[in-house]
């Protein structure tokens, strides 16, 4: 995958960001279907929360949640220390490293498929028990 500054996912594209975390990334495990959030989805949701905070006036920001997300994302970045060299974008004819070298990424589509499968299974589990309202997340 080559990274670029795409036109997608701008500060004012709430729908695009929301689509990254179907069902808020919540999966349900165990016999009692206890809720958990997949880490990748938690990170994406936090990016969306920080994005939303930047897109509104200071007085309208949800600071406690934004602070949680900023701290969570900081910890996740440190946890996954990536030593890949990113090109420093400034005007120069000197190219000490190849720019836009493709990176190998984990298969995030497999994560989405597993989350969707779990969420569909949870909906069926709730329907079997005539549960119409889940715990608010």
CB 30 within 8 A of CB 122: no
Higher-confidence residue of 59 and 16: namely: 16
Higher-confidence residue of 82 and 10: namely: 10
pLDDT at residue 135 greater than cutoff 60: no
Cβ burial, residue 52 (10 Å; 0-12/13-18/19+): buried
CA angle 93, 95, 98 (to 5 degrees): 140
In 1-137, which residue ranges form alpha helices assigned H by DSSP?
A: 14-18, 39-54, 63-79, 108-128
pLDDT at residue 137 greater than cutoff 50: no
Mean pLDDT of the residues in the chain: 84
Distance in angstroms (rounded) separating the CA atoms of residues 112 and 21: 9
Residue with tokens 């594209």: 13
Lowest mean pLDDT among 2-6, 23-27, 49-53, 81-85: 2-6
Q: 26: which strand partners?
A: 37
Quick one: what percent of the chain has pLDDT higher than 90?
A: 52
* pLDDT tens digits, one per residue of 105-127: 778 899 999 999 999 999 999 99
* pLDDT tens digits, one per residue of 66-120: 999 999 999 999 988 777 766 666 656 666 556 666 777 778 899 999 999 999 9
Quick one: pLDDT at residue 119?
A: 94
């Amino acid at each position: 995958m080559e990274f670029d500054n795409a036109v997608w996912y701008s500060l004012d594209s709430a729908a695009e960001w929301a689509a990254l975390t179907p069902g808020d990334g919540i999966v349900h495990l165990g016999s009692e279907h206890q809720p958990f959030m997949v880490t990748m989805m938690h990170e994406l949701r936090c990016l969306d929360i920080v994005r939303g905070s930047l897109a509104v006036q200071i007085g309208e920001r949800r600071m406690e949640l934004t602070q949680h997300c900023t701290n969570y994302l900081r910890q996740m970045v440190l946890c996954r220390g990536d030593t890949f060299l990113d090109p420093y974008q400034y005007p120069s004819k000197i190219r000490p490293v190849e720019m836009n070298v493709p990176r190998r990424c984990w298969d995030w589509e497999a994560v989405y498929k597993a989350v969707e499968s779990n969420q569909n299974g949870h909906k069926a589990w709730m329907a079997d028990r005539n549960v119409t309202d889940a715990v608010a997340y």
